[in-house]
Structure 1
Amino acid sequence: MRIGITCYPSHGGSGVVATELGKLLAERGHDIHFITYDMPFRLGKFMQNIRYHGVEANRYAVFKYPPYDLALASRMAQVAKTYELDLLHVHYAVPHAIAAVLAKQMVGEHLKVVTTLHGTDITVLGEDPSLRDVICFGINKSDAVTAVSQSLVKQTYELFCSDRPIDCIYNFVDTRIYYPRDVAHICEKYGAPHEKILLHISNFRPVKRPLDVIEVFYKVQQEIPARLLLVGEGPELPKVIQKVEDLGLTDRVIFLGKQDEVAALISLADLLLLPSEKESFGLVALEAMACGVPTVASNAGGIPEVVEHEVTGFLADPGDTDSMSRFAIRLLRDERLYQSFSEAGLARVREKFCGLKIVEQYEQIYYRLLEK
């Protein structure tokens, strides 16, 4: 098949999953065309069967803002015509689904549109009255719609009352990249041998509750020698830095900023903290499980579909830092329990979230549409 893929090419989960899906599809012989405003950061080196087509929204005096959605639709149509694409698979409802539907109208009904919902396009943007109708339009005009968790499927139906069937296809992890690694060569860089390493990776937005990470770590390090690694950047970062200073944790917390490659850092960690208020899936928890690292997380959104409470990690209500701290301390002190969680996580990844199984689910949808 000849498939166009559009996503946000940034460090967010939707862009990561879209890029990794495209790479796996290319490995399986499909011709993949990424149509985005920038090169997806996970695309990396040249790969056979993959092409990148940039989108440029020019500035004109008549427009207050560059018309990116129109430029994207036009570029989608150009690529679809030139390379005779079979379908467009867009990740994130706005503006990608709308642009794809418009491109289909320009190219013809034979061009199919698959929209994958990733979370904030529904749970945040979908609650904006100025965007609700256009999101609903994009969903209803797509030929197929998927969502990354059952929780997100439910929220989409509740918000939009759409009769469009939505398939739940979970995010996945490439176990050739995420696996338990020998990271002894970098351990000394981040902490002493007797210290436990806690890790948090996010975009540091309020919904991720990064201040809760600091509260949990503060309580943990009072009981266990530990350090905290923080990966990412975002609007809450200045508050996090201030809280670290206020609690006297400056020498215990390491800020690493944005990192393109996090697999080795995850393997270095003993525990992942994910206290989000909203989370449609929790890709970083899945990546941690694939590296044999348990997670202490909130029970928000789709996280319980990834992390099994008391099997592969611990879950608590959002904001309940006391419970999260107790869970973390218990897990880090009990070697037998820790090993059980680690092994259960690895098995869960193999059984439910491996790339091969997930890509086959998408292929089934593609073939179903093209056979109509």
Structure 2
Amino acid sequence: MAWTLLDRTRAMTVAPFRLGMLIPEFPTQTHAFFWREITALRAAGVEVHIFSTRRPVEGCPHEWAERAASETTYLYPPRLSSALLSPRDFPGMAKALAYVSRLSVDVKQKARALGMLACAVDFLHYSRERKLDHLHGHSAADAAHVLALCRILGGPRYSFHLHGDLPVYGTDHAAKAWDATFVAAAARPMQRELIEDVGLPPERTYTLWMGVDTDRFVPPPQRVESPRGLHLVSVGRLHLCKGHVHTFAALRKALDRGLRAHLTVGGRGPHEQEIRQSMARFGLEPHVKLVGPLGEGAVIELLHGADAFVLSSIGLGEASPVAVMEAMACGVPPVCSIIGGTPDMISDGAEGLLVAQGDEEGLANAFLRLGQDVALRERMARAARERAVRSFDYRETGRRLLDAIHASRAPQRQAAWQGATPRADQAAA
């Protein structure tokens, strides 16, 4: 990227770069990496203003949650004053209404999009009040529509982040990206989708991972062997797509073959009851413990007592899981399904073990292999830690995002993109 640290420093001596960060339903348990990114950007001198679509329904167990919520401006419900437009905004409103009318969704969804337009008007007013230079969103779903509509109305340039497979994030992605300076993907397969399915030029895309605090997520001074055998840990949403049932089936197979092991599962989600039922079906109550949602400190404590981390996700939606990065930073070898960016994060047999999605036999063999070979676990633990420090530190990933924003806003880059709008029939330009 052309924008160097010296360039940023010179720019900030003139005025701070003001960035609006839009994160849906912020903050929740899974948003720790967003807060790390905000922290890194602020440390680099960026004035970050946090916005969210609406207040989260679920609580957030992290120690920074109260501060984050107090600093967040929620766009829904929009302020009544946002209905007031000046004459200079009328052309933009006509284009925004045309944008909504062209969306390839049903009448009900278009009515929903009109609600997003009201939020976009409010976002426009906030952007002007706070003199924001750029907007970046962490979603390719409704929040991306809000960003695009805000831009159409006359708001700042924008970019957004894709955190999973495109089909998970609705439709009309070309419309969402119509004037984005770039669209980032949290894993290389998602970047390919942006290029091949949305039609974005490669230079308008990046693969940008989220990050982990490798100064806080560190290996323990000494890992104590559990008297109950191999300690497996899994942290994430209690959702069927996380593949808990496959982990349980594999653990049952490994136990039946003589492995001494137990599993601790952290997190909450909509399918807790089904997950508990599958645990009972495999007779794993003595071997599996569900501990609920965990703050960062509790996650670190759990990882310090772990021998391996398990992520057996299936289907769509997984990108480059931060929970895996956290485990690797703590020197815990991951056992992961091949999904999203996990093959880019983990070299099979070096930092961890990879198995096909839904491969219960493969998972069982991985558990047995790690349980029977302490030296292998130790080698993988060192390699995992080294990879996390080298590639996943939040300060480095935050720097990459800031470099992408500045590079994409460069006049020569913007000039090169004129006329490259993807699928202009869906855009409102």
**TM-score category, normalised to shorter length:** 0.7 to 0.9
Judged with a 3 Å threshold, the aligned counterparts in structure 2 of structure 1 residues 18 and 101 are, in CA distance, closer, same or farther, namely same
Please tell me whether residue 73 in structure 1 is matched to residue 120 in structure 2: yes
What is the aligned partner in structure 1 of residue 23 from structure 2? 7
What is the aligned partner in structure 1 of residue 55 from structure 2? 38
What is the aligned partner in structure 1 of residue 134 from structure 2? 87
What is the aligned partner in structure 1 of residue 388 from structure 2? 349
1:190-339 residue pairs with structure 2 within 5 A?
A: 193-222=227-256, 223-261=258-296, 262-277=299-314, 278=316, 279-339=318-378
Measured after TM superposition, the shift of residue 65 of structure 1 is: 6.8
Q: Partner amino acid for 1:346? A: R
**Stretch deviating more after TM superposition (290-299 or 213-222):** 213-222
State the secondary structure of the residue aligned to 1:17: helix
**Stretch deviating more after TM superposition (329-338 or 220-229):** 220-229
The answer (yes or no) to whether the contact 2:37–2:395 under 8 Å persists in 1 is no
Instruction: Report percent identity of matched pairs.
Output: 22
Q: Partner amino acid for 1:285? A: V
Measured after TM superposition, the shift of residue 207 of structure 1 is: 2.1
The answer (yes or no) to whether the contact 2:164–2:340 under 8 Å persists in 1 is no
Q: Partner amino acid for 1:230? A: V
The answer (yes or no) to whether the contact 1:183–1:264 under 8 Å persists in 2 is no
State the secondary structure of the residue aligned to 1:5: strand
Give TM-score scaled by structure 2 length: 0.75
What is the aligned partner in structure 1 of residue 73 from structure 2? 53
Measured after TM superposition, the shift of residue 156 of structure 1 is: 2.8
The answer (yes or no) to whether the contact 1:117–1:147 under 8 Å persists in 2 is yes
Measured after TM superposition, the shift of residue 195 of structure 1 is: 2.8
Measured after TM superposition, the shift of residue 263 of structure 1 is: 2.3
The answer (yes or no) to whether the contact 1:112–1:369 under 8 Å persists in 2 is no
State the secondary structure of the residue aligned to 1:141: coil
Measured after TM superposition, the shift of residue 326 of structure 1 is: 0.8
Please tell me whether residue 149 in structure 1 is matched to residue 187 in structure 2: yes
What is the aligned partner in structure 2 of residue 128 from structure 1? none
The answer (yes or no) to whether the contact 2:78–2:119 under 8 Å persists in 1 is no
Find the aligned partners of 1:56 and 1:207 in 2 and give their Cα distance: 29
CA RMSD of aligned residues (A): 2.8
What is the aligned partner in structure 2 of residue 106 from structure 1? 153
The answer (yes or no) to whether the contact 1:285–1:307 under 8 Å persists in 2 is no
Please tell me whether residue 124 in structure 1 is matched to residue 141 in structure 2: no
State the secondary structure of the residue aligned to 2:153: helix
User: Once the two structures are superposed, what CA deviation does each residue of 1:242-288 show, in whole Å capped at 9, x if it has no partner?
Assistant: 12222222122111122232222222221111111242212211111
User: Once the two structures are superposed, what CA deviation does each residue of 1:286-327 show, in whole Å capped at 9, x if it has no partner?
Assistant: 111001001111112211111210001111111111111111
The answer (yes or no) to whether the contact 2:262–2:287 under 8 Å persists in 1 is yes
Give TM-score scaled by structure 1 length: 0.86
The answer (yes or no) to whether the contact 2:190–2:319 under 8 Å persists in 1 is yes
Q: Partner amino acid for 1:124? A: V
Find the aligned partners of 1:275 and 1:370 in 2 and give their Cα distance: 39
Find the aligned partners of 2:71 and 2:270 in 1 and give their Cα distance: 34
Measured after TM superposition, the shift of residue 209 of structure 1 is: 1.4
Judged with a 3 Å threshold, the aligned counterparts in structure 2 of structure 1 residues 162 and 269 are, in CA distance, closer, same or farther, namely same
Greater length-normalized contact order (CA 8 Å, ≥ 6 residues apart): 2
Find the aligned partners of 1:318 and 1:246 in 2 and give their Cα distance: 21
Find the aligned partners of 1:369 and 1:59 in 2 and give their Cα distance: 32
State the secondary structure of the residue aligned to 1:32: strand
Judged with a 3 Å threshold, the aligned counterparts in structure 2 of structure 1 residues 332 and 281 are, in CA distance, closer, same or farther, namely same
